[in-house]
Amino acid sequence: MEEIVQSFFNAEIAQAAMPIVLAGLLNTVLLSLLVVPLGLAGGLILALLAQLRSTAVRWSLMAWVDFFRAFPPLVLLILLFAGLPFAGLELGGFACVAIAFFLNTGAYYGEILRAGIDSIPRGQIEAARSTGLSGLQTMVWVVLPQAVRNVLPDLLSNTLEVVKLTSLGSVVAVPELLFQARQAQSVTFNPTPIVMAALIYFLILWPVVRLLSRLENRALAGRG
């Protein structure tokens, strides 16, 4: 037992590694604050374009969404980071993560928001237009608030996955939480910093998981 504690829960190593791990946590927060709004913005654009009646636009959007939902985000990230320099375009790790997440998570957010918009009865849209609201005003003030409320559990669930996926930034040397923990491990020759990173992820994301469960239970109760 003592050997396990010394290997995975070493207090001295935890204290020494804390500044490095906390620096990674700060970068993880900054990365999340970047990629989540980017993904939401991309998803909203896709969801709004899906409302157009053009068959060509609809089929193009379907192909775009299906491709980036099927394409592994890790492969996409490595392709951007390691492949673009061969085309004369060299981006930093942060930029590659932002672009990869914009493309990948935007497709997921887009499908969620599209489903939310489609869940609004047509009669409400026509009633809003009859009051003199324009199509844009109707979408912003009537449709989107209800659509977001209807799919809020799905949006939170996807956001939870996005935050967890920020750990992929370590693959392209973005100094986020996992990368910094691995750096601390390489210096201390002890897995305690990795355990610290895992605990930090849990403490940050567990409240969101509980909130998501409450929203899902409330939605199920409402349907019943």
Q: Alpha-carbon torsion 100, 176, 174, 187, what sign? A: negative
Question: What is the pLDDT averaged over residues 23-37?
Answer: 89
Residue 222, pLDDT score: 60
**pLDDT-based confidence at residue 217 (cuts at 50, 70, 90):** confident
How many Å is the maximal CA-CA distance in the chain?
73
For residues 17-33, give the mean pLDDT: 90
108 pLDDT exceeds 90?
yes
Residue 219 structure tokens: 């939605």
188 CB burial (10 A radius; 0-12, 13-18, 19+)? middle
Amino acid found at 136:
L
pTM: 0.85
Alpha-carbon separation of residue 43 from 39, 48, 68, 128, 165 (angstroms): 6, 9, 12, 24, 17
